[in-house]
Amino acid sequence: MQQNKQKKAKKVKKSVFCGTGSIYQFFGVLCFPISLVFPPMIILAVILFVVGCNKSVKYQCDNCNGEVSKNIKICPWCKSFFE
């Protein structure tokens, strides 16, 4: 059987509020009140928050619902091509 037709799928961005990302965000939020008395702390707070956001964003293939990484073009689970 020959398959010439390429399957196409979309990468769905999904925010997950659990796991390592939320730990970074939690400490980032904790740093904000400290930054009121110690302004340089705001830098650490922002860094923690941004890192936390990046870690908590996951991508999902809308064809098979498999978890995929941000930069890939082909779904490792169902071999769909992302547009």
The residues near 12 (Cβ < 8 Å, ≥ 6 apart) are 59, 60, 61, 62
Q: Which stretch binds Zn ion (CB under 5 A): 19-27, 32-40, 42-50, 56-64?
A: 56-64
Under the criterion CB under 5 A, does residue 78 sit at the interface with Zn ion? yes
Q: What is the C-alpha separation between 20 and 7, in angstroms, rounded?
A: 33
| Other CB atoms within 10 A of residue 51 CB | 16
Judged by CB under 5 A, the residue of 31, 45, 48, 75 near Zn ion is 75
Which range, of 18-26, 29-37, 41-49, 58-66, touches Zn ion by CB under 5 A?
58-66
Kindly list the residues in this chain that would bind Zn ion in the complex (CB under 5 A): 61, 63-64, 66, 75, 77-78, 80
